Amino acid sequence: YTCSLEGPASDYALHVAPLSGDLPDAMSNHTGMKFSTKDRDNDNHDESNCARNYTGGWWFDACGDTNLNGRYALMRKGIYWRPAKGSSYTLKSTKITIRPSTQIQ
């Protein structure tokens, strides 16, 4: 994925470019979402705190299809990956690597 984050004034809103390749896309729908934690509920779910329910901070929409920061737990209660089409996966661990962008002029 190619992504960017806004700063603290925008609650670290995430912007994700559409994925190219064979991996089913489970991140593009998180574009524009603000980072939510159990004590800072920025998700679009009016009746719930997704970060509290799914045990980790993330760029949740209405609890969404993906959470790579939860704890290893039962289906959809921790780390999970669910593309728009296809199966949902509960993952034991994830690794997110971030590097600075290079601006081509």
Tokens at residue 96, please? Answer: 């997110």
Q: pLDDT digit string (tens) for 34-53?
A: 999 999 999 999 899 999 98
**Could you tell me the CATH superfamily of domain 1-105?**
Gamma-fibrinogen Carboxyl Terminal Fragment, domain 2 (4.10.530.10)
* 4 against 97, higher pLDDT: 4
Domain boundaries, the chain: 1-105
pTM metric for this prediction: 0.78
Q: Where are the beta strands (DSSP E) in 1-105?
A: 3-5, 14-16, 66-67, 80-81, 89-90
Per the CB < 8 A criterion, the answer to whether 88 and 75 are in contact is yes
Residue 105: predicted pLDDT: 43
Sign of the dihedral defined by the CA atoms of residues 33, 104, 19, 56, in that order: negative
